[in-house]
Structure 1
Amino acid sequence: MGLFHFVASAGRVLGGGRRHQHAGEAAPAAPSGNAILREFRKIGLAQLGGLNVTVQGRTATVTGRVPDAETREKAILVAGNIAGIEAVQADISTPEKTSSPTFHTVKEGETLAAIAERHDGVEHDELLHANKPLIDAPDEIYAGQVIRIPDKS
């Protein structure tokens, strides 16, 4: 179980013409748990069918079981990187023992290459792969977005 913090004013905008909004803009209302579950399916995380999501205030609570730590981390990021969500309470189990994930909140002007340089042993391409399908190209990151730093152990 863990509580992960996000920037409520930044993230994907659900049900609108805009793909995402940047930190600093007014945060929209938090989406429903069902809207977040639809987002899980929409971006191809079909294996997350066993998860449940509820939203209270600006906190999404995600419970259930997934096949591995990477999928757990991506579920947390999918929920948290939706505009209107400022925290994700995750009680997601996996068959394997998981450690606490390493996340990074993107700052204005940062690039994947610059973020990779700060995390010894992590390459730019590894960051891109670790964050698919949330990021398809290096220039798609934005201020306030939270991304995964892959475990190098």
Structure 2
Amino acid sequence: HADYAELVRILRDTLIALEKFQDAEAGVWYQVVNLGERKGNYLEASASSMIVYAIGKGIRLGVLDAGWNAVLDRAYAGLITEFVLETKEGWVNLNKICQVAGLGGADGRDGTYAYYISEPIITNDQKGVGAFLQACAEYEHLRAGQLSAEKGGSHAAGI
């Protein structure tokens, strides 16, 4: 792609900014990322999953250095411990997903803090589960490739 270097720069700049707001205890991110301590804010699964995916893919493609592995491991562990819950019946649920968030329209989607924290928090929303599955697949793909490389093998990088 003609603008590959610019896209890599944007990815790096975005992740550097997001890393500063990674919750120190949980390893994931808040619904309103830069206001983690504000009343009503909560750790959110779909955005955290997309961030894990981006970090994992960036490392795997070589556009993020190995220093990002610690951020990724903490975030991936946080996805599992913070959002995944097995029910007594043996079902697995992905919790703490914002049902919808956007800007504009007649619904009062004005981009304020009050708007973002007023949206319903739901379980097993498709966009949250999809992002979570992508994050898990990317993490496993990256780790399988690293393990193969450590053993002197070859693992297709893919895209």
TM range (shorter): under 0.3
- TM-score normalised by the chain length of structure 1: 0.27
Q: More strand per residue: 1 or 2?
A: 1
Higher relative contact order (CA 8 A, sep 6+): 1
Larger radius of gyration: 2
